[in-house]
Chain A
Amino acid sequence: MTLDPGQFVLLMPEIFVLTMACVILVVDLFLSKKERVISYWLTQITVVIAAVLTIAVSNGETELLFFGTFIADPMAAALKVFIYIVVGLAFLYSRHYLALRGLFKGEFYVLGLFAMLGTMVLVSAHSLLTVYLGLELLSLSLYALVAFNRDTYSCSEAAMKYFVLGALSSGMLLYGMSILYGLTGTLDIDLMGQILAQQETHVGLVFAVSFIVVGVSFKLGAVPFHMWLPDVYQGAPTPVTLYISSASKIAAFAMVMRLLVESVGSLQPQWEGMLIVLAVLSLAIGNVVAIAQTNLKRMLAYSTISHIGFLLLGVLSGTQAGYAAAMFYVITYALMAAGAFGMIILLSRAGFEADEISDFKGLNQRNSWFALMMLILMFSMAGVPPTVGFYAKLSVLQAVINVDMVWLAAVAVFFAVIGAFYYIRLVKVMYFDDAEDKEPLEPHFDLRFGLTANGLAVLLLGLFPGSLMALCHQVMS
């Protein structure tokens, strides 16, 4: 019953983020409106130092800490670093957006940091208890962030929907977890995996797993548990939408790995079927319904659903290569989503959200460089070759074909081709339509820098995907 102080070293990133979130909370009280930017910079520094700490303490080994509730392994370290990157981008893009709307408050960044802490806990969870607590920490912060612009009707509506459905899905997940706990007598993920591997599969186990699958797909937004996604994406402030579609999707992927693969991995034949249904429905509904959207945020929400379908394809193949492909997919998708929502922020002004597709008309005439960035991002989401989206889709399809599910790969390609239509339509609007608003676009330096880096990263990762792919394979083996 003693606590080894050496354990705290590996927990340093979490401890640091928590401490800084509390420090910023207090410091922010003493800042005047003009000095508020200090909170913003403190937050960004926290994210950077957390990344440095995570890289410094990760030693490539798998270590269990705090009586098996926390795991420090290469997958956790890698996912955390990518979460820092997209969270840093989200904060970077959010600054001027919030300032223009009178929302530039310390609480936004504090809640953002707490949500990031939630993703970190989730990524390193090694007990059903920590999975659940990390998820709740993340979701609770996100509910508040979605409602952050509390005087707008759409924000409150989105937050309410997100909260009610989120609570419902947490309940589903907990129900599944409690049955699993009852059947195995342990909350520890590894131990549960070992016990289940020796047990015969029976109805009780499948019952528990189906609840877990439902809970997880609610969080991911897979069809038929996707209803909250379009409304929340559209209603939330754009930086928060960015956060939900990037950082929290990486965390949700980690949750899938910890819950489905590591703890109930021996039931793979059972959950494979469930995931096939979810994946095919997500691909179909996501891509087809996105065509009918005129609101860009809503369209991107449906595009998220279709990307989740691809992510599930990688997971359901049940091989190391499949998991690595899914991880590659979720990381690159988070980068693309960050860029796409960043572009919406770039075009928006006070009182104008720029979230309609028609708002992008003639972007090329107004600012050809950022039209090019958006072109790269859209091509990447559609999966056009030199960009990373193509490579991500390719590796997932490869994993699916390797386990002899060619028909599934064919379905995925079919819907991806349908999906290409609405991405390319946006490109057409940007390049071939006349701008209604001829004013040239002169964004702030940090937005300019962030989006350029973001767009070029998507292109460069597409040209040289080798190192990221190697990393994904390495952490999954």
Chain B
Amino acid sequence: MIHGMLGRKIGMTQIFTETGERIPVTVVEAGPVTVVQVKTLEIDGYESVQVGYDPITKEKKINSPMRGHFKDVPPTRVLREFSVENIAEVSVGQTFDLTIFSVGERVNVAGTSKGKGFQGVMKRHNFKGGPGAHGSRHHRQPGSIGNSTTPGKVFRGKKMAGQMGNKRVTVRNLEIAKVLPEKNILLIRGGIPSHNGALVEILKAPTPTP
């Protein structure tokens, strides 16, 4: 069994539980993925499975390096590696779909967060900013960024203004609300990073050690 799945975020909605609780869910269209390459300890130094997602149908979109890599399987737009339970059971060409997930299971979801552009410290790091009025002239500024001759430098990692969002973010320990394997649709409780339509990786959350 593979420990992850690839999909696209579709959007959010709500569903009701039998007890009438309304829960927010993210709709993800995910899988199936095809095994493109099996990485073994002997050849690659580690064990993992490379899978492809989102097959390319247009012949002219496939270049010759791809032709070589996808020798025995249909070429896909996305390639990612996941760990598997037992590497010996996996072979190239095998497919995995959403049946690997069950309702109530915990997953981590990774995606590219929505880009917010170059943002100031108030939005980016939740700084308080200065007073709005009374002639302070210190409204959305970061304030002091360090001390004096000692240490004589600004410490590395100081929170400042800069690019916000548009980077990889993983949200952990999300609950699976529903699985529809025949439609390749997964409902995950809560929000996940990324724009609608963007690629997300759904990883099985490691089971907590008791």
A binds B: no
Hey, which bits of chain B sit against chain A, CB under 8 A?
A: none
